[in-house]
Structure 1
Amino acid sequence: MSELKSLVIPEGLAGLRVDAGLSKGLGMSRTAITALIESGQVVVDGKPVGKSDRLIEGSLVELTLVTKKNHLIIQADSVEGFGVVFQDEHIIVIDKPAGVAAHPSVGWEGPTVPGALLGLGIQLTTSGAQERQGIVQRLDVGTSGLMVLAKSELAYSKLKQAFRDRTVHKVYHALVQGHPDPSAGTFDAPIGRHPKAEFKFQVHEDGKPSVTHYSTVEAFRSASLLEIILETGRTHQIRVHFSAFRHPLVGDTMYGADPTIGKRLGLEHQWLHASR
């Protein structure tokens, strides 16, 4: 079974080699991207490309991902920086480092939260889809911080309902470009899928209601550290809202961040942390 994915190249990936740029933009390993290129499963503006070709801003990249039968089976793994903050017989709260996926997915060959837990001998509930058993929330691969997961069916049911009812209080810290004015406020703008990029989202009048509250913790010369509280939990919500209001997260080239700032700080992903 195959799945077609697409991505419009943002400014932050322009000029990079195809293998390096797509690895960074899609959260896939360079080895996986190279294999897709060599098998003819990656085209740019309808034409095959080489791994050392350069990406051009605005180009449409399409990838054909083949789902292998056992691709999504969870494997025990040892993950550096992965930690358990709290657990009892029903739930577990973990500290996820950036570079770890919340669960297995097509095209992702890196470490996952369930795999890291298996490596520690911790079993989640069997409630949910096979690759998402016990998963009641997600953090992007490039986002670090706290996640709560279910170890029992009762906890899974109650946590899922709590997230649906928006009774879970989620707080993040983010480093954004520039200085938001006012220094504290609320973004209330609907979010929907990007029409040309499978992996991206955007503020759109026909999107789902999305509300983000923020306050400035500290201002630096070219960036600001913010505390962010989510009222809703849309995919990429923080990244989309701050990009739309011209303060993209530092390091988030997919959503328009200046790559020179991220490079100066040694970042290869957005600076975003789920703090509580």
Structure 2
Amino acid sequence: MITKHSAPAAVPRRLALALAGYRGPLLLAAVLVLVAAPEGAGLGSLRVTVLSGAVVAAFLAPLALVVALILGSEVLALSPAVRRRVYRFQRPGNSVLSGCLLASAAVAFGFSVPGWDYEILTVGLAALGLIPLAWFAWQLVVTRGPAQQATAGRPGGRWRWAAVPLLIAATALLVSQGVPREVRFALARPALTSYAERALATATVDPGPTRIGGFRIKDTQLADGGVKFPITTSGLFANHGYAYFPQGPTHPDSYDHVGGHWYSWSGPDRF
């Protein structure tokens, strides 16, 4: 029986139990926040460690998934007992779906800047590879018990089987059409234009890294009769960014027209 005095104390407990089922998505969200944190936030070594692990996972997870599918198909063909366990697999739950949604959003965000944001993109791709492996491994553990235990609390809705493939396909379609990049630039364009016009009028720019319109900018430059915005973390071997030229660029071959007075550019390779 819950009394008036025990009811407030039960709320944090219920919240903790509810969040326990979302440990994976919450961990992924924390990693994304860590990667997106400014470089001067004092998290350099931890950030490097996380990114190194994400790079390894991004390369190994797809390979491990392919190997698991090949070996799994062979085992299914030879073992009726294993087939019965696989038929008892639960549909992907809210934790899996929310984790895939978060990972897909990270992938789309990684493609939303010129030259791609490889840090966010690596974490998103690694998560999309690890989540199916983690779900498959968990299902093997759950289905070891009695059939009644394996089917207890089974998520409802057959649509869950198609949700993750459709989500990944939709993300791939949007990225192939350049939608994340166009949408993000459209949202940031008013702030970038205001900053560029003020910089040209005063012939000054803010020194050092700054954030404009949601983009992390490093060392804004007055060049070629306009303003260049190098985007932090964009590109792997070269700087990338946007540029504002009211009269057009003096070297048109070095820029790609985005719209209006705006252009995108790619710097020389660092190697």
TM category (shorter chain) comes to under 0.3
TM-score (norm 2): 0.24
Which protein has the larger Cα radius of gyration, Structure 1 or Structure 2? 2
More helix by share: 2
TM-score (norm 1): 0.23
